[in-house]
Amino acid sequence: DTVQRTGQAAVCERTGQWGSTTAGAAGDRFASRFSYLLASLSSEVEDAGYNLRGSADVYDEVDQNSAQRLGGIDLGVTW
């Protein structure tokens, strides 16, 4: 969420007031590239979070299944 909010924040505001059209144009290009970068990173972070959550859920299911299957066997391990 924080990465996404950061990506949506305005970058290089009011470039038209920078005095020089060259400086303003450079600021606009930088803002576009930087915003694109942050939006891409935000998407990757979100995807990674979903993947990690899915992996954690699967590990939890495997642990629960193993505990049920091995319930009658004393392995000296607490599940």
Domain ranges, ordered by start, for the chain: 2-69
Annotate 9-63 with three-state secondary structure.
CCCCCCHHHCCCHHHHHHHHHHHHHHHHHHHHHHHHHHHHHHHHHHHHHHHHHHH
Name the helix (H) or strand (E) containing 69. helix 21-69
What pLDDT does residue 79 have? 57
Cα separation, 29 vs 50, whole angstroms? 32
Is this prediction's pTM over 0.75?
no
Q: What is the pLDDT of residues 9-43, one digit of tens each?
A: 777 777 777 777 888 788 888 888 888 888 888 88
More confident residue, 58 or 2: 58
